[in-house]
Amino acid sequence: MDLNFSAEDIAFRDEVRAFIKDSYPAALNGKIDEGEELSKDDFLSWHRVLAAKGWIAPAWPKQYGGTGWTSVQRYIWSEETARADAIRLMPFGLSMVGPVIYTFGTPEQKARFLPRILSGDDWWCQGYSEPGAGSDLANLRTKAERFTGDDGKEYYRVNGQKTWTTLAQHADWGFFLVRTNSEVKAQEGISFLLIDMKTPGITVRPIITLGGEHEVNEVWLEDVIVPVENRVYEENKGWTCAKFLLAHERTGIAGVAASKRGVERIKSIARTELDEGEILLKNPFFKRKVAELEVDLSALEYTELRTLAGESSGKGPGPESSLLKIKGTEIQQRITELALEAAGHYGAPYYRGFGEGDNEHPIGPDYSHRVAPTYFNMRKTSIYGGSNEIQRNIIAKMVLGL
């Protein structure tokens, strides 16, 4: 494995760096470092800059609007965006349903949906999980019954409940796994539907997380009418799309570049003089924890680079994506734990300012305000994208042969 970037790669890196410096929306500066909750407009402002440049979908084939970058260039791109503290783009359109549509969709579906994903005109959400169907996704019960409408066209009537649907409150469209046949083996009776979130019968209810954020929702579907032309791939073959999509979901989940940034942030907090004049980064116990984190992060980075080298030589991601997911998310969580430790008593959850009407002004230095909500928020990483226990099962089966 050659870890040295070529002269072309370095020129590309400089081009990317300069572009981000000149074009990243100023209003977003520092929002990630501060762990701020991002609005739909925040996400879309960066999305639209990249769409205009033609850099919005590096992983897509060029014919559908991809950049045609090599995997090393894609790696450089993710490094540089994390280095610049740029916000992460929403994955639901770009990394999930987009690839499903260009791989399995009809020409009409491609023409209708792909350009609007690239431009940011449509915001997508993912309707997979249900109460009782998370890790065991094939157990899903949301039912779609087919019928012929008065206009002679074919439709599905959809009834059921989805849960943990991320940012569905903003969504224009959702991709849903629904049961179209209950008589066969669970995986064989599922279809993949694209549903307009404004269709009558859809209710989105917020779930407020421990960090106080509105990030996830319940989505209820009551007699929701969906044209059959909105089904991707064959009826009852949605599991094929679902599995394909999950593999894409885990790509980049290691978050190495963002974690590097996180470690730098901890160090900068820990270099700050505490109330008693102590510098935490000089404390040998704390210093050791930071060093251990950096060692593990380096090891993860090399594993990711090995996977990339394999990809460049045509080898698809195998069980290493599970390893990257487990180690990457554990490191992300450790970073938030150390940040909380570094912030000390200023990191107390829900600690607000005193005085009437002063709830919006937390006490303590700026760096401490979002440390606790971020700590809580990042507990999700070992659950979503296939929980870490499930990833261990995959490794046990595919690597250890158990």
Ligand X SMILES: Cc1cc2nc3c(=O)[nH]c(=O)nc-3n(C[C@H](O)[C@H](O)[C@H](O)COP(=O)(O)OP(=O)(O)OC[C@H]3O[C@@H](n4cnc5c(N)ncnc54)[C@H](O)[C@@H]3O)c2cc1C
Q: Does 384 bind ligand X (CB under 6 A)?
A: yes
| Contact (CB, 8 A) for 142 and 174 | no
387 lies in the binding site for ligand X (CB under 6 A): yes
Amino acid symbol at 57: A
Stretch that binds ligand X, among 30-38, 104-112, 182-190, 389-397 (CB under 6 A): 389-397
User: Minimum distance between the CB of residue 337 and ligand X, rounded to whole angstroms?
Assistant: 18
Q: What sign results for the dihedral spanned by CA atoms 183, 186, 189, 193?
A: positive
Number of residues that bind ligand X (CB under 6 A): 17
Q: Of 135 and 312, which has the nearer Cβ to ligand X?
A: 135
Partners of residue 193 on adjacent β-strands: 176, 231
Among 154, 223, 264, 389, binds ligand X (CB under 6 A): 389
**CB of 390 closer than 8 Å to CB of 135:** yes
Complex with ligand X: residue 154 or 389, whichever CB lies closer:
389
Binding segment toward ligand X, per CB under 6 A, in 55-63, 77-85, 147-155, 385-393: 385-393
Displacement of CA 258 from its chain's centroid (Å) = 13
Would you state the structure tokens that stand for residue 167, as one six-digit string? 């940012």
Q: Is 134 in the site for ligand X (CB under 6 A)?
A: yes
Task: Pick the closest to residue 137 from 147, 146, 126, 148 (CA basis).
Answer: 126
Are 99 and 244 a contacting pair, CB within 8 Å?
yes
249 is annotated as an active-site residue: yes
Q: Which of 67, 129, 332, 374 binds ligand X (CB under 6 A)?
A: 129
**Which of 130, 249, 301, 320 is an active site residue?**
249
Whether 163 contacts 205, CB under 8 Å: no
Sole binder of ligand X in the list 159, 236, 240, 393 (CB under 6 A): 393
Q: Which listed residue (67, 81, 126, 251) binds ligand X by CB under 6 A?
A: 126
Select from 180, 160, 168, 166 the least CA-distant residue to 232. Answer: 180
Q: Is the CB of 210 or the CB of 299 nearer to ligand X?
A: 210
Side chain identity, residue 241: C
**Binding residues for ligand X (CB under 6 A):** 126-129, 134-135, 164-166, 216, 380, 383-384, 387, 389-390, 393
Enzyme catalytic residues: 249
